[in-house]
Structure 1
Amino acid sequence: MQWSTEVVSALSSDTEPAILVVFNDHKYMFNTSENTMRSFLQSGRLWRRTKCLFFTQSRVEKIGGLPGLIMSFADATINNLQLIGPPGLNHLLASMRTYTYRDSIALKTSETPWTTTTDPKPCFTDENVTVYAIPAIPSLEVPLPPSATESTDGTTIQYDDKFAETAVKRKRDLSADAPRKRMNVGDEAFTGTEVTNEGVDAYEDEANAHRKTMIQHMFPGTNIPSPEEVARSNRATLADQPILSSVDVETMSRTRPESFWKQLPTFTNPFPKTSPTMCYLVIGPRYRGKFDAAKAKALGIPNGRVRATLASGQPITIEVKVDGEKVTRTIQPEDVLGKEDPPAAILVLDVPTPAHVSSLLSAFQSSDFYRNIWSEDSSSLSAKEEPKFILRTIYQTCGDGVLDDEMYKTFLRGFGPETNHIIASREFCPDPITFTSVSENQLRLSSIDDKIFPLPKYSLTPKRDLSSVPGLPVKIQTMSSTLQNVMRPWSAPAPDPVIVAADRFHPLVNGTEVLKISPALQRYTTQAHASIAEVIARREIDPVEGADVGIITLGTGGSLPSKYRNVLSTLVKIPGWGNILLDAGEGTWGQLVRAHGLDGPDSVWKTLRDLKCIFISHIHGDHHMGLSQILAKRRELDPPPNEPLYVVSLRSVHLYLREVQDVQDIGIDDPSGNGVIPVLSESIHFNHLGRYLTTGLWKIGGDEPWLEYNKSRESASRMCDALGLEYFKTADVDHRCKCYGASFRHKDGWSITFSGDTAPSPGLRKLGMNSTLLIHEATMSQDELALAKKKAHSTVGQAIAEGMAMNAKNILLTHFSARYAKVPPDLVGRRGLPRMTPLSFNRERQIVPAFDHLNLTIGEMWKIQFYLRPMVQAIEHIENHMGSPSPEPEPSARRRLSTGHRSPSPSPWSGVKKQLG
């Protein structure tokens, strides 16, 4: 049986390390940061047959890609999945309940306690692997003895007096919340009985049972597809694929208990000031020795099935002739099998700070079990005649200062000179592009205009080289997303040649290959530049309100990430005032970093400091699963922000943010007043009633103090003051769940309207009248009107028609289905695009199809009509997300239809039929 390990994602601007252990029948993954699924798509690695996920921390940095991954697993017919991680895992998973659910998968979770023992027991075992969890607790909070308390399983963990006081205080804080109302969840319920210091353990047990009940409601495994249904699913077209988390809330609410919508019981974090980690030792299977045919012949064992029985490890009884007489002989497997190969093993370490090293070293020093692979005198390891297992490779994520720490270097050397060390460190690793396919496109687009189509920020040179650190092991290298390591038969870690060959971006930027620009692209680009220069020289462009307002389309895809488009997010930059983020799908933080870089005066940290408003349109995961990561990163700002960040959204979004806050500080209820301030979308509806609705789809859904109507409106008013806005209003839109669009107007006279996900909606049309810019979803093509209606999305033509109906000066189309990695065919037409000239260009209304990393101002949008022709040419070669060439549009999508706008020559948008309903 062969097995191997693969790096799905490395440490970069947009990913954290994710390690995959691969057997023929099952896979096991360690950590699922944001963009894990997109990394699978980019590399072509396969996730089918994944059996168990392990987490080193219960934090959004390590778990951010989990909800999207689970739903993709379920849709890929993975019916059972196990999750193992530190305390807090259940709470974080249960906090996802309003946007992560599949009845076609059953989930089992297990939280590994922060305890160590000299005789460790596995946290997971099956026919392929045996996994041991090893806590790494910062020495600041868990020193070596003076005192110890015994745990229920006989293991011990040490606390100092200062920590004990903190723990007691947390218990008292917990008891202050009781009593709570009983939540009816069927057979299991969180009763919230009054808690005293003596009753904390019982309270925690009951609270965790409630979380597990919520998880069971999320993933009940009650609708596992039959083999026939799986086959049909594999044959389905993209149009038939489910939209991520697209179950409408009204349907969902009929199948969920009332407590599903209540806030989870508070999670008590035993380490409120630091972040301990869980490391894992993974031991592979033991393999029997090689069958010795010569010995079998000497023993008289005939060829055939009996030899196979012996080879499988079972004894046989045969009759043989000895000195002419028949003798019955029992033969044991060891009589004909060679020496067993000891199992191979890997170690997955997560060491954020040097303070984590002491407890990790102590675990190996104090355990005879771990001394099979570690010793103060590493030469003694090679002297062992029959090791129980052989440690081949250590995957280690190291924070700043860890590799310079003498104790850590001593720890690493203790594994002996033959162990391979794979290092993920922001100090020592370069920051290459992760999503090379879309970046190659961007490289071609940047030849048209490198300001509007900028290259994502990257670095091929690390800040420091590993060779600059004395005392590190010999076999050490930095982690990359191309690495694979075959454990049996053994081969050293090396790049996967298939993935390396698929990367066409880095050879172009490091000079090993030359970017080839086709003659047609060169010609179209030259014509576009000449026309733009002539328009400017003639002063044909009228002054535009908000001309310097920046628009960066961070993600422009539909419900699923793809190689070429991330899920939805748009950044609005208001010079002198601050930034607004419209939706924040998974991976938005990485897109922000790639757009701005980590260093320099205009880095992502400045963008984050200037971020004053995030609007989340609705609870579908593709619109907000990157929100927690952004809030977590904001807490890293030093010095902290001196202004708050207002999050405008529904109760369900604010609810899960508060539940995440229990496990990890993301700035909710910051006593400084400069943390995250909630604004309820319902409270700033353009047709507000002075109160919340309490019945129907649009009801507020709760009665928590932070929902208070007037307080929310006051917060919205302060947000408008901070951004120089006259108003920020919402409108209910037509989607399969409660969803809001938004419109805001600046004191300088410009306005922006954002649709969220919606079919054409009269309320948004009314709110957005005369907008300077309409940002509207355009999920479907014109020949998919029925599908768009069914899924409550808009076609390209409908989005343009909505902009025309509200007299928007500019229309930015986004949220394209994964079928449209290129410019949507509706905008191209059967005969291709005509050449725009200074005499024929559209002066009245600009229509811009968005791509990820498009970076332009409102005042530059008129240029896109000139650039569209070279844009189409530049990305003509790309493939769709399924890995096959993008299909030609159907005849109905090729028809050149009037938009109702007259111009001296054919408009580049004349492939779209005008629709006003």
Structure 2
Amino acid sequence: MKYYYQVVTTPTADTPGSAVVLNFPDKRYLFGQVAEGTQRACAGTSVKFGLMTDIFLTGRLEMNNVGGLFGVILTLADGLASAAANLSEKQKKKEADERQQRPKQDPAAGKAGGLPISYPGCKRIAQRGTLTVHGGKNLTHLMATARKFIFRQGLPMYMQEHDGDSLAEQRGGFPDPYEQPTWSDQNIKVWIMAVSPESQSQSKGKRTRKRSHEEFREEDKAGVEEEKAAALADQVIRQNVVSNMFNSTWKLDALHETKLKDVQMPGLIFVRDPVTKDLRRYTGPAPGGRTPVPDITVLVRKPWPGANVERIPPVSWNEEAISYIVRNHNIRGKFDPLKAQALKVRKGPDYAKLTRGDSVISEDGQIITPDMVLDEEKVGKGVAIIDLPSPAYVENLVNRPEWDSPTAALNLEAFIWILGPGVGDHPKLRTFVAKMSHCTHTVSSPDYCPDYLAMKEVAESTVQMAMVRPDNYALPVYDNVTVPQPRLLNEAVVPSNERAPLRPLKPGLIINMEPTFEVDESEVTPQYDPSNAQEKLPKAVEARMKIISGQEEAPEFQDKLAAFRKDLPGADVEIITLGTGSSVPSKHRNVSSTLIHAPGNGYYLLDCGEGTLGQLKRVFGPEALREVFQNMRMIWISHLHADHHLGIANVIKAWYQANYPNGVSRTDVIEEDMSKILRDKRLFVVCEQMMTTWLEEYASVEDYGFQKVTALSAFPEQIRSGIFETSFAYRHCRADGTFPGQREAQSQPKTTRLRFQDDSDPLSALLREAIGLSDILPSRVSHCRGSMAVTLVYPDGFKLSFSGDCRPSENFAATGRGSTVLIHEATFQNDMAGSAIAKKHSTYAEALEVARQMQARALLLTHFSQRYQGNVAMNNGQSSQKAQDEPGSNSSASLRTKDVPDDEEGLVEESNPQLEGSNEDTGGVIIAKPSTQYNGPHVNAFDYMRLRVGDFPVLQAYVPAMETLFAILERAAAESAEKAQQQKPAKKQNSKLKPANKKIEKTGKAGKAGNSGNSQRIGDRGANRSRKASASAADEKDVVAEAGTAQEDGNPGITRSVGIRVEKAVNRALTASASSADKMEIETSANRAERAEKRAARHAARASSPPTDESDEDRNARRANRAEKRAARRAARASASASSADEMEVDSEAGKARRSRSPRRVTAKRAGKTSASSADEI
């Protein structure tokens, strides 16, 4: 049995966590930190989630370690849902076929231990449809906080929490307390360790006074039992919430009756027609408005499970870090048939029984036990996966009793150390590593692993775009060499010579456990170095840029630019697009996030999807990023979809560390003076009420800086047509998000209402000064519950509107009228308008129409569907790339659209215009009109792009160059993928080359044995060239040199012409190397030239052979020569199939040419067809 660990991530800006996957033939297990960027790092790699049933989280339970857990679970759930649907269809079909053949079927058939079964490859296998996440205390609470924005069905989810107290209670009753593992399945045993920091373990042992034994028994025992019962009741609530999040029976079309006054808004409300009894939409005054509602019974959709739970019981911060010892089960010895025969065991079933561990009766009546015919059992191999966040954890880790256990520490082969900054320098850790020197010690840590570019594809495209527009794109910040990595707070990091001798891990590295232990680096992902990237742009792009530069200097363009910049407020405002993709992170685009830098006002972050902090680190160096956080004023969250806010906790924590590097003393005191809060140094988070609830609930899991966050819930209200008023609510809570009386059903914290334009309230002026804005104007939009677009008004008149995710909205266009810049989503191209309507997004043309009606000075388009992996069309939204998925496909992107319940959907087709809104007015939907056109500058956003508002027209002018660049990059990527696909079957073909080479060697010997010197030389040259062809690595210069060799030995009249043409073809190929896309074509041309030279050599050999009166020896040599040529051709064809399909076509045409005795014309024609690129030809 083979099983191994493979490294997924090591600490970088893109992937701050460390994770490994344990691979068995039938299951996979994820160990480590499932940090932000984990699922993005897995895209395009061999790491798949299909067989994953268990996730083992290491370290402390904090967002830096588990920020990617929600995304991984969603991806896994969507994949399982898709696979389950396919399996269900196959199973139904198979059962139908079986019923036809066997009408009377056992009703228990089709079950395996209570699980449905499938029959892939005629093999009966129980389906795996559950996921268990193991981790520290508060894990269930963490998952339950996401109930408002995560909802899946059909994936039973189990949270297994472990802490020091519960683990201690499990041990006992054995001489070795660790004889039984904490957890096990059919493949592995796991011993779980909860390690406390030194300060926490010391504080646990302190008491204010000594109490008598009687006091402890009478008072503490009762109190402890009562506390345990309350904690258990709270945990049951959380577990039920998690269960309903992933395995609920809730249905979309279920309606129930309720009083109108009790309806929660926004939501669709129906009433039953008293005459026809049909359902119709209620159009009267809605609850929560200024108009009283009638006392009637209405029908509304039954709330989904997450919406029914307003709050969950709070928890307390926990500092324990989780580590694991993992060992596979013992492997039975190999069955020895000779021993069985000697003991007269019957062949067949008795052999199988013995291998299963059962005893049998031999032919002579003796009892044969398994140990009599099996070799010695092989003890399982162990790996310790240790996570130490800081040096404070080292003392308690090295003194753990597990290291002295004859069971837990048995046959340890390796340590995987996951270390925080400075831990590797701890002297006691070095001593422990020396004590365990018989094990292999590997490490993943920012002190040992450099900050390489984990997302290679987006870095490559950014490097190319930086050559086109260096003012808008720069190389991502990275360092492939320096360790320790620089830290965010710009702390002095001095490399230590006393660091523990550990082997740094790299992504792709494999630790083989069985059948033999070894560390294998053959699959390690090479580090991308932009400094070694191609410095020259493709010729087609250079040609475009030359034209654009001329146009840019023309008076007409300068006049247009001056007119745009005239009276332009905020011309120096900079927009940095950090994430420009939708739904899920991809190799080319991260999910939504945009940073606005308004000089003199500060930084404002619009949405904050997973990986936003990593994107910030790639754009800014440590010192510059510290300045960004020290001047960041506000984060705006448009709605509760996961791709728009999962990165917020880590961004807030980084802001908190930059502004309060020494922390803030923890206190239970609630600050109730709003004026004092507004004068304090705080980060504003403006969002919908559900997002505020999440911030409060997560604050009891981790001290991420909530104490210095001012979370404002926005409540926009339409006064009359086109006129809105917005109030903002601040809830006064403790640092851990709790408030007095929280466990009481109807209790709420003290709430202060704020407005920007209320001159009668002195807090309004303080609010404007604290946040740096004159006004914030949210408007409800049609997407999911609570979705809002927003317009930010700055004191200097600069006006920025941001759509978030939505259908094009008239209300939003009215609210943002006269905006300087509109940032609008354009998820779909114009040919997918149906998908845009169904999923409540906008098309390219619809975004342009919103900009026209808003009269925005400039438009930035973003939030593109991940189906458009590279270039998103810039001209009227026509895509230059075929979509990756078709509409309605069961992709994870399409499945993600229901994470938050959409109260704007009805019970009829979504195309019904009456249902394109809810009873909460989101405004009419704007319809794009072909007869109208937006005339302002508009550009597409890409990750890492930086754009000054005054430069919109300049960047738009470079759109043609960008389009050409992306067309070339896409073509190169497609050709590379095609070549990789062709090389897969070539591995089998290459295995046939060895016999061919042996045959070539024999024919060479035959040539030597003959008296013909020509045969000898030709045989040797043929064998050498065949070996070169089988290696598929000939250099262009070698082709020309070998052509000259053939000319000397063969007929000059034949070979000279071919040699000259070959040389010309190679020169043309070399001059065509203007772009990365053409490199593959150049290689193909060189291979064609090489083949032409070989054919010339064969003709030269024929020309030099005696035409008549040949002797027997000459005849034998000629036959040997032909045999050698046939073998060479076979080897060359095998190599050509591994290189490219084009070369196979060349070989085929060359064969035809040989049969027609006209090889030269075909050779010259084929070798001369070298194209720089389709763009260059145009």
- What residue is the counterpart of 1:33 in the other structure? 35
Higher relative contact order (CA 8 A, sep 6+): 1
**SS of the residue aligned with 1:643?**
coil
Give the direction of change, closer, same or farther, for the CA distance of 1:159–1:260 in structure 2 (3 Å limit): farther
Contact 2:605–2:635 (Cα < 8 Å) also in 1: yes
1:417-566 to structure 2, matched below 5 A, reads 417=438, 419-464=439-484, 476-497=502-523, 500=525, 506-509=527-530, 511=532, 514=534, 517-534=537-554, 538=558, 540-542=560-562, 543=565, 544-566=568-590
Gaps of 5+ in 1: 145-157, 166-194, 225-247, 320-326, 374-388, 694-700, 834-841, 888-917
**Structure-2 separation of matches of 1:162 and 1:6:** 49
The aligned counterpart of 1:215 is: 242
Q: What's 1:849 paired with?
A: 940
Contact (CA 8 Å) 1:779, 1:794: kept in 2 or not?
yes
1:67 and 2:70 equivalent? yes
Answering whether residue 411 of structure 2 is matched by residue 390 of structure 1, we say yes
Shift of 1:666: 2.2
Question: SS state of the match for residue 776, structure 2?
Answer: strand
Moved more, 710-719 or 567-576: 710-719
Give how far 1:216 is off.
1.4
Q: Distance in 2 between matches of 1:622 and 1:691?
A: 26
Q: Report percent identity of matched pairs.
A: 26
- 1:305 and 1:288 mapped to 2: Cα distance? 18
CA contact (8 A) 1:730 1:740 kept: yes
Is 1:278 the equivalent of 2:322? yes
For residues 1-25 of structure 1, the C-alpha deviation after alignment (integer angstroms, 9 at most, x for no partner) is 2211112211111221122111121
Does the aligned pair in 2 maintain the 1:105–1:221 contact within 8 Å? no
1:831 Cα deviation after fit: 11
User: Equivalent residues in 2 for 1:875-894 (5 A)?
Assistant: 875-876=966-967
By how many angstroms is 1:399 displaced? 1.8
Native 8 Å contact 2:860 2:939 kept in 1: yes
- CA shift in 2, pair 1:285/1:14, >3 Å: same
Residues 296-375 of structure 1 aligned to structure 2 (within 5 Å): 296-301=340-345, 304-319=348-363, 327-364=364-401, 367-369=404-406, 373=409
Root-mean-square deviation over aligned CA pairs: 3.5
Whole-Å separation in 1 of the counterparts to 2:241 and 2:473: 45
Q: Which secondary structure state, in structure 2, belongs to the residue aligned with residue 140 of structure 1?
A: helix
Give the direction of change, closer, same or farther, for the CA distance of 1:282–1:536 in structure 2 (3 Å limit).
Answer: farther
Instruction: Quickly say closer, same or farther: Cα 1:199–1:299, change in 2 above 3 A.
Output: closer
Q: Which residue in the other structure is 2:650 paired with?
A: 629
Structure 2 partner of 1:97: 147
Name the residue aligned to 1:266: 314
2 CA distance for matches of 1:415 and 1:24? 30
> How far is 1:829 from its partner?
7.6
When residues 572 and 264 of structure 1 are mapped into structure 2, their CA distance, relative to the original with a 3 A threshold, is same
Q: Deviations over 1:125-159 (max 9, x none)?
A: 10011111112211112139xxxxxxxxxxxxx62
Aligned partner of 2:594 among 554, 559, 570: 570
What is the CA–CA distance in structure 1 between the aligned matches of 2:208 and 2:423, rounded to whole Å? Answer: 26
Q: Decide which structure has greater helix share.
A: 2
The 8 Å contact of residues 753 and 768 in structure 1, kept in 2 or not, is answered as yes
Correspondence for 2:177? 119
Q: Secondary structure of 1:875's partner?
A: helix
Conservation of the 8 A alpha-carbon contact between 2:248 and 2:305: no
Whether the 8 Å CA contact 2:609–2:642 is kept in 1: the answer is: yes
**Corresponding residue for 2:963?**
872
Q: Is the 8 A contact 1:878 1:885 kept in 2?
A: no
Are 2:202 and 1:143 equivalent residues in the alignment? yes
Deviations for 1:846-894, whole angstroms, at most 9, x for unmatched residues?
11111111111111221222221221222235569x999999xxxxxxx
Q: In the alignment, what sits opposite 1:662? A: 700
Deviations 1:791-810 (A, max 9, x none): 11100110111111111111
Structure 1 residues 590, 264: CA separation in 2 closer, same or farther (over 3 Å shift)?
same
For the structure 1 residues 48 and 548, does the alpha-carbon distance in structure 2 shift closer, same or farther, using more than 3 Å as the test?
Answer: same
Report if the CA contact (8 A) 1:616-1:648 is conserved.
Answer: yes
Cα distance, 1:879–1:812 mapped onto 2, change above 3 Å = same
1:584 is displaced (CA, Å) by: 0.7
- Larger Rg over CA atoms: 2
Partner of 1:24: 25
Are the equivalent residues in 1 in contact too, given 2:819–2:856 (CA < 8 A)? yes
The equivalent of 2:339 in structure 1 is 295
Counterpart residue type for residue 411 of structure 1: F
How far apart are the structure 1 equivalents of 2:39 and 2:822? 30
Q: Does structure 1 residue 680 correspond to structure 2 residue 713?
A: yes
Q: Is the 8 A contact 1:779 1:815 kept in 2?
A: yes
Rate the CA distance shift 1:738–1:496 in 2: closer, same or farther, 3 A.
farther
Q: Is the Cα–Cα contact under 8 Å of residues 879 and 885 in structure 1 kept in the other structure?
A: no
- Do the aligned residues in 1 keep the contact of 2:871 with 2:880 (CA within 8 Å)? no
- Assess if the C-alpha contact under 8 Å between 2:14 and 2:455 holds in 1: no
Q: Please give the residue correspondences for 1:753-772 in structure 2 after superposition, counting only pairs within 5 Å.
A: 753-772=801-820
Aligned mates of 1:210, 1:690 — CA distance in 2: 35
8 Å contact kept, 2:595–2:604: yes
Are the structure 2 counterparts of residues 532 and 706 from structure 1 closer, same or farther at C-alpha, using a change threshold of 3 Å? Answer: farther
Match of 2:50 in 1: 48
Cα distance in 1, alignment partners of residues 649 and 194 from structure 2:
25
SS of the residue corresponding to residue 682 of structure 1 reads: strand
Q: Residues 711 and 849 (structure 1 numbering): CA distance in 2 closer, same or farther, change over 3 Å?
A: closer
What displacement does 1:610 show?
1.4
Equivalent positions of 1:590-669 (< 5 A) are: 590-597=614-621, 599-600=622-623, 602=624, 604-637=625-658, 639-640=660-661, 643-668=681-706
CA 1:684–1:479 in 2, change beyond 3 Å: closer, same or farther? farther
SS at match of 1:527: helix
Q: Find out whether 1:201 has 2:228 as its counterpart.
A: yes
Indicate how the Cα distance of structure 1 residues 678 and 507 shifts in structure 2: closer, same or farther if over 3 A, else same: closer
Alpha carbons 2:636, 2:685 under 8 Å: kept: yes
Q: Secondary structure at the match of 2:811?
A: helix
- Normalised to the residue count of structure 1, the TM-score between the two structures is 0.77
Equivalences for residues 705-716 of structure 1 within 5 A: 705=749, 707-710=751-754
CA contact (8 A) 1:412 1:472 kept: no
Determine the C-alpha separation between the residues in 1 that align with 2:555 and 2:801. 28
Bigger mean CA offset, 632-641 vs 333-342 = 632-641
2:943 and 2:403 mapped to 1: Cα distance? Answer: 52
CA gap 1:335/1:531 in 2 versus in 1, 3 angstroms: farther
Question: Does structure 2 retain, via aligned residues, the 8 Å contact 1:249–1:738?
Answer: no
**Take 1:832 and 1:626, find their aligned partners in 2: how far apart are those partners?**
31
Give the residue type in structure 1 aligned to 2:51: R
Structure 2 counterpart of 1:894: none
Give, in angstroms, the shift of residue 624 of structure 1. Answer: 0.7
Q: Could you say if the C-alpha distance between residues 223 and 536 of structure 1 is closer, same or farther in structure 2, counting changes exceeding 3 Å?
A: same
CA distance in structure 1 between the partners assigned to 2:542 and 2:209 by the alignment: 67
The corresponding residue for 2:1068 is: none
Offset at 1:812?
0.7
CA distance in 1, matches of 2:879, 2:628: 42
Question: How many Å apart are 1:89 and its aligned residue?
Answer: 0.5
In structure 2, the residue matched to 1:130 is: 189
What is the rounded CA distance, in whole Å, between the counterparts of 2:548 and 2:505 in structure 1?
Answer: 43
Q: Give the deviation of 1:826 after TM superposition.
A: 6.5
1:43 partner SS: coil
Partner SS state of residue 744, structure 1: strand
Instruction: Give, in angstroms, the shift of residue 467 of structure 1.
Output: 14
